[in-house]
Amino acid sequence: MVCTAGRQDRDGAKSVLLATYLTTPVRFVFADGAFAGRLLDRARTILATTLHIVRTPAGQRGFAVIPRRWAVERTLAWLTAHRRLARDYERNPAVSEAMIRWAAINTITRRLARGRPATRQQRRVFQPTS
């Protein structure tokens, strides 16, 4: 769901969690620390959904991979590889949401059409010519 800049992510999460509850069997959701608080209780009591808050470890200094957070960051990187999503050009949040859906569909279609498992690109080693 794409919200306007004047709306908190926490408020947008309420409608996303409700839509997820009504349309899918998903009952376990990972969330950022910004979604802690009353939303956690509401998800558990009203929607019977477990909202797991992924936090940085206490006393962490510098960069460290946070469990499950990398999946979100990787997905956002895949989406921003589409030129239209590299910048925020849209005025209407519905158009932004449609562009994100289009990029996700495009990404998964390419992966399915490839017909083989994904492989990492091999690191190239350059040899100096004599």
In angstroms, rounded to a whole number, what is the distance separating the alpha carbons of residues 96 and 51? 26
Show me where the domains of the chain are located: 1-55, 66-112
| Per-residue confidence band for 11, with pLDDT thresholds at 50, 70 and 90 | confident
**32, 12 contact by CB (below 8 A):** no
Top mean pLDDT of 31-35, 60-64, 104-108 is at 104-108
Inform me whether the pLDDT recorded for 122 exceeds 80: no
Q: Check residues 58 and 45 and name the one with the higher pLDDT.
A: 45
Mean of the pLDDT values across residues 25-43?
86
In angstroms, rounded to a whole number, what is the distance separating the alpha carbons of residues 125 and 116? 25
Q: What is the pLDDT of residues 78-119, one digit of tens each?
A: 888 888 888 877 888 888 889 989 999 998 898 888 877 767
Total-model pTM: 0.64
Residue from 73, 28, 76 nearest 53 by CA:
28
